[in-house]
Amino acid sequence: MSETIEPADAVAAFDSASSMLEATARGLRNEPFDRVGRGRLFAATLHAANLLPRTVRQRLYAVAGGAEGVMPDRLGAVDLDAVAGWVTDHYPDKKYPAVMLGSSNGAAVHLATALGAPWLPQTLLVPVRWRGNEPGRPDRALEFGASAAPQLLRRNPDVVLHHMHDANQDQLMIGQMAYFRVKRRRLGLAYERFLRERLAPGAPIIVLADSSTWPVTTVDDRHFFQVGAQGGMGPQDYDRHGIETDTDAPEAEWGFDPALLDDVRRFADAAGHPVHVVRYPGTHALSGPVADIQRAWLTGAGITADRLLVESFLLIDPTRTRQAGLVPMWTMFPVESAIEATHDYLRSGRYRSVHIGLFPHGVRSRGIAEPGLWRDRLSDAGVDVSFMGVDQRRYPADFAALVRYGSALRRVPRPATTSPQPGSLPVGQALAALTS
């Protein structure tokens, strides 16, 4: 067997789960999540690249993403149990009042920070290098995945593979790589060790169970192929190039595989920890309830919480958001469904202003919600609308927005009252709000 790939090199750094893991860990340490977790050189590079023509910016973005990919012939060297140990190493060695586990969700990053609870992801992305791929040919992607995946699955019996191919929002990236999203069906040694050693006696395990599903093609017992993804288009809108679907499965990026819940309950029964399952019907469905929890938490600290921050995909910073006294409303991507979720939430009339960050995925994909649409739609709700670090002329190929967002958040006026500290929200209060 070839030498094991380092865990940090086996999974994508620029992805929902890994970025939200880092954002949660920093939030628990009361540290900001600037530049989506990258260094100052990353910021300088993006600022310089943003001066280039659009097509050049797009090409550089795609190539940089593709460089993270694992070579197909090295997939047998990916040890996802070692990756799970890398996940748990993000958190300080201390006792925690709860742990959150399961689906990726940006709203949950804020909730975990408020509770002082780590989050352990079920799903991670193993990017597989595949140059010369044609985004509009999912049939070729299916063939590639079927040939490349077996060695990964043989090495890692506790996971199921969801090979996701979205030629709409991921158009730039899938020309360079294949998206192999893996979901744990068992806790495994690293997660069990963390729960045994780091959870306070009797502390709850909170399982985030996003019920999102997608029609897929079964490639093998533990291998599904998914054309498209949640965002600007529905499953029926994609050209499948003759690929037939045969079942529905948990959506590759956000959906929860319930097999893991069985293993969580097995462990919890033996270890004496209660299990609370937070089920929600779609990825945006958790955003409003968590925003309400955050608003009550801020209000309890004497802050007038009437300013809403609309976050987008990886543009999350629980520490600076809390310090600014902003209520976070996380959205998956800058798509029309995100506007509708935000508009529906604003019907409460509790907010006087909305600050909006927009993740730049580089192309004018179907269903995209550009800045003008956000302004027009949310202005109808009677609130002041502003954008956080968005160059509206260059969007959606405005890649420097990834670093301008943090700078804009730092400049938001702070409330006169000191913001609440990470871990000060009682677990029971949050669970009561989520399950009521």
**Where are the chain's structural domains?**
7-283, 287-435
CATH number of 287-435: 3.40.50.10660
User: How far, in Å, are 9, 306, 375, 385 from residue 350 at the CA level?
Assistant: 44, 6, 18, 14
Residue ranges in the chain modelled with pLDDT below 50: 1
Sequential DSSP letters for 337-394 = HHHHHHHHHHTT---SEEEE-----SS--TTB--HHHHHHHHHTTT-EEEESS--TTT
From the list 310, 307, 314, the residue with the least C-alpha distance to 401 is 314
Contacts of 300 (CB under 8 A, 6+ apart): 420
pLDDT for res 1 = 46
Q: Measured between alpha carbons, how far is 146 from 75 in angstroms, rounded to an integer?
A: 13
179 - beta bridge partners? Answer: 127, 164
From the list 335, 333, 339, the residue with the least C-alpha distance to 379 is 339
The answer to whether 311 and 329 are in contact (CB under 8 A) is yes
Quick: pLDDT tens for 225-242: 999 999 999 999 999 999
Q: Measured between alpha carbons, how far is 196 from 270 in angstroms, rounded to an integer?
A: 10
pLDDT for res 3 = 86
177-184 β-sheet, strand order: 123-129, 177-184, 159-165, 223-227, 213-220, 247-250
The answer to whether 22 and 90 are in contact (CB under 8 A) is yes
Which residue, chain included where needed, has tokens 């049939």? 139
- Cα 70 to chain centroid distance, Å, stands at 21
Percent of the chain with pLDDT over 70: 93
Cβ atoms < 10 Å from Cβ of 134: 12
Sign of CA dihedral 398, 169, 211, 150: negative
For the chain, give percent helix, strand, coil, nearest 5. Answer: 40, 20, 40
Run of H or E residues at 330: strand 327-331
The answer to whether 389 and 401 are in contact (CB under 8 A) is yes
Give phi and psi for 250, each to the nearest 5.
Answer: -55, 135
pLDDT for res 315 = 96
Start-to-end CA span in the chain (Å): 51
Angle, CA 319 vertex, CA 313 and CA 324 arms, to 5°: 100
Q: Which amino acid is at 356?
A: I
Contacts of 190 (CB under 8 A, 6+ apart): 81, 82, 84, 85, 87, 88
Q: Which amino acid is at 208?
A: L
